[in-house]
A and B are shown apart, each in its own frame.
Chain A
């Protein structure tokens, strides 16, 4: 590896942070720049439910102290949005028009919460849960013992639901096509898992299609969901949990292949030889399935960051998915998912 090779990591989530560790380990003399839109350094999004358990100081949620980046000789650029990556020229452009060069870049921008198109009219009446700031907003909006209405209920949302129930809040789940995402649950198995959720204390609302979301009348909870059969569900906060959309907008002019995510080979290289991708942002070619597919979960994402970094520094290792990917109900009747397993 040439001395002073400049590696850029876009996104400082689990994949990005693991990539940085491996890059520094394998190439002690390289320059590493990490870029994030967040104002905070790396924190684990799986830890966000801890906000409801009392972890509400941003310093407590960080995985490493801010000084870690200095010690590791990593330039961390926070609150910075990349608008374009030019793999041919080896440059990337920020929203504030600055351009920087790179030798290799790994895109670890993950995904943002997907809001189904038919719900977009009600975006202003809903709250997301992707960042520490948004988690704090939900915490502040919820009265003690208040009710969260979850639309969809992907595994990120159901993980939060468990914490909410354990900390004295109430949860109503409005079931739709995205419930249990990213798990694909067969129709005949669905009831079993929904029953397990009910045993946890989640109120499951299934059947009639959601017609609209509106503000609750005075004296009632802040939000009211109206269904096509005329029924209504009230909640203090409405949160869509309908899976993730890979954050690839800034790569649209980069020339690399994109379907939903960045298309990468098993070595996690995009169609540009200087650009790799890791984590929820990439679709990896699977020779067995003859298709590009996503791999989710903390373990997989972390492993992708590692494989990408190793390959950026000379290896040619394929990514191998870690662990099985099935949702299951354990002997005690609790629903569980490898998606929730993390250090």
Chain B
């Protein structure tokens, strides 16, 4: 379903942000590799990836992070583009077939800044990314 940015909404502490859900596939990972120019075989070569600690291909961290950015765009609209800040850690690998959900919650409001706890999790609830996002008015 197409997400519409809701940048005019006013959020208060504790509010949940609208989630973004995506199903990963090897084809999508390959498409991101083409766009980003990151052809690391860990993402694209199943035979190579099978020899690594991951046991198979995984998605680029920046691809999964893009789902958090989309969630922030939906929640805050142009404000996210004008004044966004992200600080995250990549905590787990997202694999082809995984359903990734980006979620967030307003944790603090400090002056002109709205700070949100943000995360991506897979279908088992395992954390893929966690961190903080900030927008200013």
Co-assembled chains A and B: no
